[in-house]
Structure 1
Amino acid sequence: MPRPALYSSSRPARRPAQESAASGGAPQAPAGGHDAPAPVAPANPAVATTSLSKRHVRVLWTLIALLAALLVYSLWLHQRPGPRRITQDDIDAAVLRTLETTTPPSAAARAANAIAPSVVRVVGYGRSKNGKQEVERGVGTGVVIVDKGIILTNLHVVAGSDRITVTFHDGLETTASITGAQPENDLAVLQAHKVPDDLEAAPLRSTQDLRAGDHVVAVGFPFGIGPSASAGVVSGLKREFTSPEGQRQLSNLIQFDAAANPGNSGGPLITLDGEVVGIVTAILNPTPARTFIGIGFAVPIENAASAVGMPPF
């Protein structure tokens, strides 16, 4: 027998919830035998809320741990011991240790070091007897008193020389000319033809307050060796000296006992402040040895300065 025709209902299908409520039971399958798509259950709100809370808790604990670490670091910085403040006692202790472990230079060494840049080696040259060879006629010392290269020395060092050379502290060697002389004080004034760029003039000091027993230093080139320094004291003032040959009569001299020998002639006699008070000119030795036995003489710097035309002190 023929099957009855099936017609789709023109009424909108009721929602499962409504059907369930109407029927009082579980929702029925739709007529016609076709399976309807299963309704998708909404996500469980409680589960979503729980998952979100766990993430928040982890972030919160991370922030707490970071803040705790920062707090510990800050406390550590504040509790670190800073550099100790240096006190006067610390300075005194350091100075004392330095004095105990370091030997300072002597006063004579400081004086010699101060005058050294102004001391020069002076050599006078002449011809040999046959006139064919240049030879040294005299070796002595000089001291720069004007930084343009004006030098004081002894006249007997350069007298009769055909050529004069001076060697400065930095090693520069140059020729020089005699520009003045004071025979009564055995003094000569030289002008160097070249000078170092940093040439220093020696400081001069009046002898008015010089007394016997004052410490002095003689600086020069004894026997051409130097510059050399020897220390002693002023032995007397206003002394007179006659050369062994009787050719020179000098007066108003400073007597001193700092070692001086041939070659020291023309060199400075200085105080412990490094100031020139005289120009070494002679030594007394009654024997032909011409070596130092304890008595030397220097021309006061007032006389020496007048040879250059410098005003008195």
Structure 2
Amino acid sequence: MYRARPVAALPLAFAGLALVAACGTNPYAGSGAVQQLTLGAQQQQPASAVPAGSPAGPARLITSTVDGLGTVLADGEGHTLYRYAKDAAEPSKATCAGPCAMTWPPLVSDGPALAAGVDAGLVGQVTRPDGTKQVTVGGWPVYRYAKDTGPGVALGRDVSADWTAITPAGKPADAGPATLGTTDVGGLGPVLTDSAGRTLYLFTKDGKGSGKSACDGACARKWSPLPADGRITVAGGIDSGLVGRIRRPDGTSQVTVGGWPVYTYAEDTAPGEASGHGTGGTWFAVEPNGCKANPASRPDVQQAVATSPSPGGY
């Protein structure tokens, strides 16, 4: 177990402060300046001429920023969109109808929705019980909350645990902090983990210090980016100067360590697993110094592996 210690909220920047480890050198430390990312298009998208939920034309999807939630999906007028836990994404199914749909109006659309700042491959439609077509993102039907009073408001997040604002990736918006910890993984040594103890990975095709992620769409469903729309806390033994964030193609933010965007792997089913390490020769567990795990460079790990008993005691 580890005890996370909060650090000051990191500004929305491509990287953190000066880094000390050679492998985790901060490529942005030279100027001493902090690069701020702007939210850009989501603040500038013109409002749709078609009211949200109207079947008179294609619906629109944009991104918006909500205090405490970060980047979320919104309709063409900037109203926060939500997903319902009792719906389904694979295959898509909408279960909120009747009185439920009065409180949570579905976003319906004649034809494919027009999306800005959202991966078009995630956007689809599902037929509702009344025959109308509802917009889906990541397979999840999306809704407004009738009591939200305007753009940037998300009163629906406090109504029920079944209703959460939805991100441009189709995931629940997370108001909590991203948390970085460490754990020892057999054969690898200490690696970085998320708040649930899941191993974190880097993707060599991202490019260290590039300020961008090359993993989106289907890739990001298998390798989930560690979100960074809120504050980031780090456990003892991790240099907070190695930690930063980037803006992803879908408008969300992602944690970086040593200049590398970090991810979890869908096939890791429990803390301490690192089944994604070495996948395709491009995915590697991340050491606390921001380097890819390399047991061959660690005599202590090699010794531990060599002296550990084999299965069955042989």
- Normalising to structure 1: TM-score of the pair? 0.25
Structure with higher helix content: 1
- Normalising to structure 2: TM-score of the pair? 0.25
Structure with higher strand content: 1
Task: Using CA pairs under 8 Å that are at least 6 residues apart, name the structure with larger relative contact order, 1 or 2.
Answer: 2
